[in-house]
Amino acid sequence: KNQVEQSPQSLIILEGKNCTLQCNYTVSPFSNLRWYKQDTGRGPVSLTIMTFSENTKSNGRYTATLDADTKQSSLHITASQLSDSASYICVVSRNSNDYKLSFGAGTTVTVRA
């Protein structure tokens, strides 16, 4: 079954600190993996997208990694800010036509001053 599992479910960090979120997937075939940020009550916003051949991609203070062999990805947030408080969702696409995405349950990050 096509699954996307994220950990931890939630975490709290102090402003200025770093954190890393994990994503494991069993989706097959694999086309690409994205990380989305979802603020409460809002739609997901794309942070990064990586294909099979890419193993790292950055977007500002966000850095995503991908190991397609072990089917694992991580999202690293550097020097966290209060505005980073949100749910971070790992999403895997099975084909380049992107007809259907498999969503993880998300990791809720709370940044405290």
* Site residues (vs other proteins, CB under 8 A): 34, 36, 41-46, 49, 89, 98-101, 103-106
The strand pair at 10-14 and 32-38 is best described as unpaired
For residues 11 and 49, which CB has a smaller minimum distance to other proteins in the complex?
A: 49
Instruction: Report, in Å, the least distance between residue 23 CB and other proteins.
Output: 13
Instruction: Report, in Å, the least distance between residue 89 CB and other proteins.
Output: 7
Per the CB < 8 A criterion, the answer to whether 104 and 89 are in contact is yes
For residues 34 and 109, which CB has a smaller minimum distance to other proteins in the complex?
A: 34
Give the C-alpha separation, 34 to 41, whole Å: 20
Give the C-alpha separation, 68 to 73, whole Å: 8
For residues 43 and 60, which CB has a smaller minimum distance to other proteins in the complex?
A: 43
For residues 19 and 89, which CB has a smaller minimum distance to other proteins in the complex?
A: 89
Close Cβ partners of 7 (under 8 Å, ≥ 6 residues apart): 21, 22, 24, 107
Instruction: Report, in Å, the least distance between residue 100 CB and other proteins.
Output: 5
